[in-house]
């Protein structure tokens, strides 16, 4: 039976979809059967991030409207045959989507996958509630900024009212140069603030836009290493830390820091 993990945050734009896509690719690269579900209904973009938008024929909405079967709506990744996407499709104002309808879809997928990863919409309204009520585990994505952390903290409190067995946080867009100079809140301090388990740290890196299933095998890329560690923490339950400050230590590190500030 699949582990069902919701990727949530409260605040919008902090990297939920990015984490969902990359985590899915890394798990599938380790031979796990992975289904990504876009629950950001109406504002769905997981298909675009996965470069699958041209191949989406049916969506979750079509399944709910009985226009197709669940397996017909799944899109298989080009590079990792064990990775699938169930896109949410556009908003149909006339359709009220209930938790039990989506649960039926998930119940059908559960025996076929090792991981079902749900990309949650921003906010804490109906879309959020639908997404989290279906999951057993949650990844709370936050950036190291106070506004994002405050929303993450509220989401952690709300999650405790759901039947979520495990809650981990992921710090996205961490800047090693700023953490090294104590200008950005430290990973351990974030852990103490949120009071949930550590899941992973993902550095700020523009290459996130280029990250595709074809490029994730590049071990030299810090972004790939960070997602690789996140995936292995999810699989094993370990709390390994990707150290994003390593580049900025010592003599050459100081020069890199100065250069980064000037950009
Ligand atoms: N580690 C990162 N480094 C650089 N840019 C990033 C990183 N993570 C995410 N981004 C960028 O931030 C933007 C928002 O990311 P994303 O869409 O994943 O956030 P989201 O939480 O899913 O947003 P929404 O709440 O709107 O669904 C995107 O342009 C993405 O490329
Ligand atoms: Mg998103």
Half-sphere exposure of 146 (CA within 13 A, CB side): 1
Mean pLDDT over residues 128-132, rounded? 94
Q: Whose CA is nearest to atom 8 of ligand 1?
A: 15
Neighbours of 157 (CB within 10 A): 10
- What CATH number labels 3-262? 3.40.50.300
Q: Which of 6, 10, 17, 227 to mutate to test the pocket of ligand 1 (most atoms within 8 A of CB)?
A: 17
Ligand 1 atom at minimal distance to the Cα of residue 40: 27
Q: Give 129-187 as a 3 state SS string.
A: HHHHHCCCEEEEEECCCHHHHHHHHHHHHHHCCCCCCEEEEEEEEECHHHHHCCCCCCH
- Regarding the beta carbon of 87 and ligand 1, being less than 6 Å apart is answered no
Residue 42 binned pLDDT confidence (cut-offs 50, 70, 90): confident
pTM across the whole model: 0.92
Mean pLDDT over residues 197-223, rounded? 79
Average pLDDT, the chain: 89
Cβ contacts of residue 233 below 8 Å, gap of 6+?
Answer: 168, 198, 199, 200, 239, 240
Digit-coded pLDDT (tens) for 200-211: 999 998 888 766
Digit-coded pLDDT (tens) for 69-116: 999 999 999 999 999 999 987 766 667 888 999 999 999 999 999 999
Specify whether the CB–CB gap between 128 and 39 falls below 8 A: no
Digit-coded pLDDT (tens) for 234-250: 999 999 988 877 776 77
Ordered by start, the domain boundaries in the chain are 3-262
Q: Is the pLDDT of residue 212 over 70?
A: no
What is the pLDDT at residue 261?
Answer: 62
């Amino acid at each position: 039976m699949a582990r069902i993990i919701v990727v949530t945050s409260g605040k919008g734009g902090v990297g939920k979809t990015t984490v969902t896509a990359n985590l899915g690719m890394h798990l599938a690269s380790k031979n796990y059967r992975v289904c990504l579900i876009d629950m950001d209904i109406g504002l769905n973009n997981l298909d675009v991030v996965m470069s699958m938008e041209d191949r989406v024929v049916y969506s979750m909405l079509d399944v709910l409207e009985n226009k197709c079967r669940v397996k017909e709506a799944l899109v298989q990744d080009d590079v990792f045959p064990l990775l699938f996407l169930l896109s949410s499709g556009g908003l149909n104002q006339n359709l009220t989507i209930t938790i039990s309808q989506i649960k039926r879809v998930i119940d059908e997928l559960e025996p076929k996958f090792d991981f079902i990863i749900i990309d949650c919409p921003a906010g804490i309204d109906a879309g959020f509630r639908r997404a989290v009520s279906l999951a057993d585990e949650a990844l709370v994505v936050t950036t190291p900024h106070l506004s994002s952390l405050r929303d993450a903290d509220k989401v952690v409190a709300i999650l405790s009212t759901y039947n979520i067995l495990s809650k981990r946080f992921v710090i996205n867009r961490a800047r090693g140069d700023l953490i090294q100079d104590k200008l950005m809140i430290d990973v351990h301090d974030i852990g103490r603030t949120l009071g949930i388990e550590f899941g992973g740290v993902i550095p700020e890196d523009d290459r996130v836009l280029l990250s595709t299933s074809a490029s994730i095998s590049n071990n030299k890329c810090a972004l790939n290493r960070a997602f690789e560690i996140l995936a292995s923490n999810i699989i094993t339950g370990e709390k390994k830390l990707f150290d994003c400050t390593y580049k900025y230590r010592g003599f050459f590190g100081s020069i890199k820091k100065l250069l980064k500030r000037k950009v």
